[in-house]
Structure 1
C-alpha cells in the first residue's frame, strides 16, 4: 500500500499538484480573499488564519460582520455606480466604433486584391506594441492645446482646438485607433471562411455587389465580427493606461476609481467592491464571446474546394486602400510624435520642435539605467516561470486531458490587471506570506497575468507532436517525465520560444500591475515613463517610451519569424 502511494506521488503527479498549488496560492485565494473583503469591508488574512489562533479569531470576527453595505454604496451617490455606467458606455462605444472601422479593412485584406497588404499588416502591428498610456500621451502631442495637429488647424483658419483630448471622446479615439488590431485579424479570418460561390450565385441572380455584401458576405462573417466586438469590449473595459492619463476629474471610470481607492485612500471595501464588479463584467463578456464562437459557426459544405477569387474592381480596391491607409496612419503618426518629442529641445510653440538633441536618450541611459535593468530582470523572471509552468500545463491538458488545469489557467484572461493587483496586495500584505512590496510578488503577478498567452502557444505545439514519439521513449525504458523533458521538450522549442517572447513583450509593456505592485527599488521602464509624465518630464519620458517600443518591435519580429505566422 505504501509502495503504491509513493509511486503515485512520483514524477508528473507531484509536478501537477505543484502547479495546482501555484494557481491556488496566487490566483484563487487572492480572488476569493478580495470577494470576502467586499462583504466585510476589512482586510482578511486567510494564510495567517491557518498558522495563528489570534489571527483566526480576528478573521472569524470579521466574517461575522458580513454585509452588503459596500455593494449598496454603488447606488448611494459615492460615484461608484456612475463609474460603472461610464465604463460600460465607454467600452460599448469603443466596441461598436472599432467594429465599424475595421470591417472595411478586414474585407480588403481577405477578399480584395488590395496592394501593399504586407506593408499594411506591418503597420497594423504598431498599435499593439505601444503601451496604452504612451499612446494616450501621443494623442496629447497631436491633439492637445499645443499639439501639432491643432497648430495646423489654426494655421488653416480654425479657432481653439479640434476637440478636448482629455475627455470621454479623447479616450474613445485613443482606444479605437490603438485597439483595432485586436479585432482586425479575427475579422479577416471570418471573411475568409465563407464560400465565394454563394456570392457569385447571388450576383448571377441579379443582385448588386453591395446587396450581396450585406445579405450574403456579412451574415457569413457575423459570428467572427460579434466575437471581435465582445473582445474589444473586454479590452476597453479593462484598460487602465488610457483613462489614467486622459480622464478628466469629473469623469469617473471604474478602473481608475479602483486604483484611487486602493493607492490613494487604502479603502479596502471600496477597492474590493469595484474589483469584484470588474471581474464579473469581464467574465460575463468573455463567456459571451466564447458562447458566440462555440454556438454559431457558419460554414458551407460541398464537394468542391472553396474558390478564393479576389475582388479586383478598381474603384472598390482604390477606396479600401485609401481608407485602410488613413486608419493605420493615425497610430503611426502617434509614434512619430513621441519620437519627435524624444529628440526635441522644446516643443509647443510651433507645429515642429524648436530644436533637436540626443541628450534625452543619454539621460535615460545615465539616470534610468536601473529601470531598464529592472524591466529586463523582471520580464526574464516572469519568462522563466511562465515557460516552466505553461509547458507542463500544456502537456497535462493535451496528453492527460486535464480539464481542471485548462480551466484554472484560463481564469487570468478575464482578470483585469488592476483587479489582480488589488487582490494580491490584500492577500500578501501581512505575515506569514508578506510578499507585497517585493520583486517576487511582482514577477508572480506578471506570470499569472500573461501566462495564458504562453499556454496557448505551447499548447498548439503540443497538439502537433505525435503521441507515439513519446510512447517510443517510454517503451525503451524512460519514465514519462524523462520522455517529456528529453523528447517532447525539444520538439516544442519553437512554440516555447514564440510564447516566451510574447510573455517578455507584454511584461515590458505592463502598466497597471507595475503601478500597484512595483517597489521603488524595482521600478520597471513602464512605471518610470508613467512617473516622468506625471512629473512633467515629457522629453525623457518620450525617449524611454521609444526604447520600450523598439524592444517590443524587435522581440515581436523574432516571434513572428519563429512561428512563421502568416497575417495576410
Structure 2
C-alpha cells in the first residue's frame, strides 16, 4: 500500500481493465446496438417496431405462444424430473450409474435433432405413422404444432432439472428424513413437505435454465411448428426474411425477449435470495432395495423415460444407414449417405473442430483470468467484470447472434461470416457457465499456497501460471470438456453469422433438414452424436465419475 492507504495500481489492474474493455466492446456494445436499432429507422427515432408488434395479434401472439410453450415445458420437465431423481436417490435402481450417464447424454444433442428424429417417427411419412396406417388402419397423432414442440423440448430438458436435483439430493442429511419419519411423515408426503422446500433453490435454478432454453429455442418450432409460430421464429423471419427484411422490427422483438428473460431471472433470484441456506450431508442417503410391485413400478418409470429420451437418438443413427432417393428414405440399408456427403462431412467436421477448439481455448483463458480477479483481487472493477460476464446467461443465443451481426456487419469492423465472429459468438454464449464453474474451483483453492509461493520470490503471475492453474487443471479441463459439448451442438447463436466456409456440423444438419435431405442430415447428426458421446465419456473419465455436472 502507499502512504494514503490505498491499493497501488499493478499489472492485474491492467488485466482487469483490458478484460472489461474487451467485454464492453464485444458483448455490451453489440447489445446496445440492438437496443438503438429497435428505436430508430431511416428517419431517426421511432417506436414503430414496438407499435407494430403490440398492435397485431399475428405478432404479439407469437410471444403468447412462446410463453405458453415455455411454461408447459418447464412444469412438465419438473413433474417428470422430480420423481426420477427421487427414485434414483432413495432406491437401488439397477444400472443407476449407466442410467445417469445416458440421461445426461440425451440432453447433449441439439433440440432440433430431437425434432428431426420425431419427424422420422411421427411425421407424415414417419416409421410409426406408416406402421399404424398399414397394420392397424389408425391415424397417428401429429408431431407438428404445439403438442410436438412441447414433447420435444420436455424430453430434451428433463435431464437438465434432473441433473440439478441429483446434485442437491447429495446435500440432504438422512437425519432429516428419519426425523420426518418419526413424526409419521413418509413417502410422498415427506417428499413434498420436507424434501421439496430444501430443494427449492435448486429447482428454481434448474427451472430458470429450462425456461430460458425453451423460450429461446429456434430449431424445434422452425422444424415442427408449422402454423404454430413462436417468437424466435418471428425474429428469424423478420431478420432474414425471403420476402422482406425489417431489422428494426426484429431488433424491437429481440429487446422484448431480453426484457422477458431478464424479468424471469430477477424474479428467480429474488425468491432464491430470500430462501438461501446451506446443507451438509453428514450422513448421506443410503438407497433402499426395491421389492415387489413397487420395484416394478419404479423401474418401469425410470426405464420408460430412458427409452423415450434415447429413442430419437437411436432413430437418427439407424436412419443414417437407410437408403435415400432425392433425399427421402427408401427400402434398404447402406453407407450411401456417408459416402455421397463425404465432402460436406469433412468440411463440417473441420470447421467444427477449428472454430470450436479456438473458442474453447479463448473461453478457458478468459474464464481463468476473470475468476482469479474476482476471487483474489476483489474491488469495484472486478465486481463489475464479474456481473457483466452473466449477461449472456439471460440473453438468448439468437439475440446474441443478432447483436453481433448488427454491430459488426458494417465498417469499420466487418466480421460477418468470418472465422473470428463464429469463435466470438460461441465463446460469449458459454462464458457465464465456465466463469461460474472456474470461480467455484478458485474459491476452493487455499490462498496460503499462493502466499507461500510469493514469499519464496515468485510473482503473482508466475504463481497463477505455475501453481494455481496446474492445481485446478483437472476441474478446469472437466469443465472445458463440458463446454466443448455445448459449443459443438450450438445452433441459434451462429445462425446469422456463418457462411459456407464457416459452417459447422450443427449448422450443416439444420441446412440439410431444411432442404429435405433427410439421409444426409441423419448421417451428420450421427457424427455429431458420436462426438458428443466421446466427449462425455472423456468428462466422466477425467472426473472419476464423481463430478456434478452443471450445464
The answer to whether the 8 Å contact 1:435/1:441 transfers is: yes
Summarize deviations over 1:57-94 as a string: whole Å, max 9, x none.
Answer: xxxxx6xx424332122221162211111000000010
CA contact (8 A) 1:126 1:331 kept: no
Residue 230 of structure 1 aligns to a residue whose secondary structure is helix
Q: Give distance in 2, aligned partners of 1:317 and 1:299.
A: 33
1:212 and 2:190 aligned: yes
Matches within 5 A, 1:345-360: 345-346=323-324, 354-360=331-337
Q: Hey, what does 2:523 align to over in structure 1?
A: 543
Alignment of 1:286-305 (within 5 A): 286-297=265-276, 305=282
Q: CA deviation at 1:278?
A: 1.2
Q: Is the 8 A contact 1:70 1:273 kept in 2?
A: yes
Is the CA contact 2:221–2:228 (under 8 Å) kept in the aligned structure 1?
A: no
Q: Residues 39-438 of structure 1 correspond to what in structure 2 (within 5 A)?
A: 39-41=39-41, 65-77=44-56, 79-154=58-133, 157-161=136-140, 163-207=141-185, 209-248=187-226, 250-264=227-241, 265-297=244-276, 305-306=282-283, 308-314=285-291, 315-346=293-324, 354-401=331-378, 402-438=382-418
Structure 2 CA distance for aligned equivalents of residues 223 and 473 of structure 1: 39
Q: Residue 32 of structure 1 aligns with which residue?
A: 32
CA distance in 1, matches of 2:189, 2:457: 65
Relative to structure 1, the CA distance from residue 150 to residue 214 in structure 2 (aligned partners, 3 Å threshold; closer, same or farther) is same
Q: How many corresponding residue pairs?
A: 536
* Matches of 1:165 and 1:40, distance apart in 2: 40
Q: Distance in 2 between matches of 1:267 and 1:131?
A: 28
CA distance in 2, matches of 1:416, 1:224: 21
Q: What displacement does 1:400 show?
A: 1.1
TM-superposition CA deviations, 1:418-475 (whole Å, max 9, x none): 1001111111121111222221111111111112232233223322322122222322
Distance 1:291 1:364, change over 3 A: farther
Q: In 1, distance between residues paired with 2:279 and 2:432?
A: 32
Unaligned runs of 5+ in 1: 43-61
SS in 2 for 1:394: helix
Deviations 1:138-191 (A, max 9, x none): 111111122222234335525222x21111100100001111111002222344
**5+ long unaligned stretches in structure 2:** none
CA separation of 1:69/1:317 partners in 2, compared to 1, >3 Å: closer, same or farther? Answer: same
Q: Indicate which of 444, 447, 456 corresponds to 1:467.
A: 447
Q: 2:389 & 2:188 partners in 1: Cα distance?
A: 44
Offset from partner CA, 1:109-133 (integer Å, 9 cap, x none):
2222222211210210122221111
Please report how far the alpha carbon of residue 498 of structure 1 lies from its aligned counterpart in structure 2 after TM superposition: 1.9
Seen in structure 2, the aligned counterparts of structure 1 residues 535 and 455 have a Cα distance that, compared at 3 Å, is: same
Aligned position for 2:11: 11
Mark the CA change 1:8 to 1:33 in structure 2 (over 3 Å): closer, same or farther.
farther
Distance across 1 between alignment mates of 2:186 and 2:11: 65
Residue 258 of structure 2: SS of its match in structure 1? helix
Q: CA deviation at 1:9?
A: 6.4
Deviation at 1:300, TM superposition (A): 7.5
- Structure 1-normalised TM-score? 0.88
User: Which stretch has the larger CA shift, 23-32 or 148-157?
Assistant: 148-157
Q: Distance in 2 between matches of 1:207 and 1:504?
A: 44
* Alpha-carbon distance change, 222 to 316 in structure 1, aligned in 2, over 3 angstroms: farther
SS at structure 1 position matched to 2:350: helix
Cα distance, 1:496 vs structure 2: 2.6
- Contact 1:412 1:448 (C-alpha < 8 Å) held by counterparts: yes
Q: Is the Cα–Cα contact under 8 Å of residues 212 and 396 in structure 2 kept in the other structure?
A: no
Deviation at 1:38, TM superposition (A): 1.0
Q: Name the CA distance, whole Å, in 2 between partners of 1:206 and 1:291.
A: 34
- Assess if the C-alpha contact under 8 Å between 1:220 and 1:299 holds in 2: no
Equivalences for residues 497-536 of structure 1 within 5 A: 497-536=477-516
Q: Secondary structure at the match of 1:345?
A: strand
Q: Is the 8 A contact 1:231 1:289 kept in 2?
A: no
Q: Between 454-463 and 149-158, report the one with greater CA deviation.
A: 149-158
Q: Are 1:20 and 2:20 counterparts?
A: yes
| CA contact 1:79–1:252 (8 Å) conserved in 2 | no
Shift of 1:216: 3.2
The 1:313–1:129 alpha-carbon spacing in structure 2 relative to 1, beyond 3 Å, is: closer
User: Residue 535 of structure 1: CA displacement?
Assistant: 1.3
CA shift in 2, pair 1:541/1:197, >3 Å? same
Which residue in the other structure is 1:56 paired with?
Answer: none
SS at match of 1:510: coil
1 CA distance for matches of 2:395 and 2:63? Answer: 16
Distance 1:353 1:318, change over 3 A: farther
Deviation of 1:257 (Å): 0.6
Gap change, CA 1:484 and 1:567, over 3 Å in 2: closer
Specify whether residues 482 and 119 from structure 1 end up closer, same or farther in structure 2 by C-alpha distance, changes over 3 A only.
closer
Deviation at 1:307, TM superposition (A): 5.7
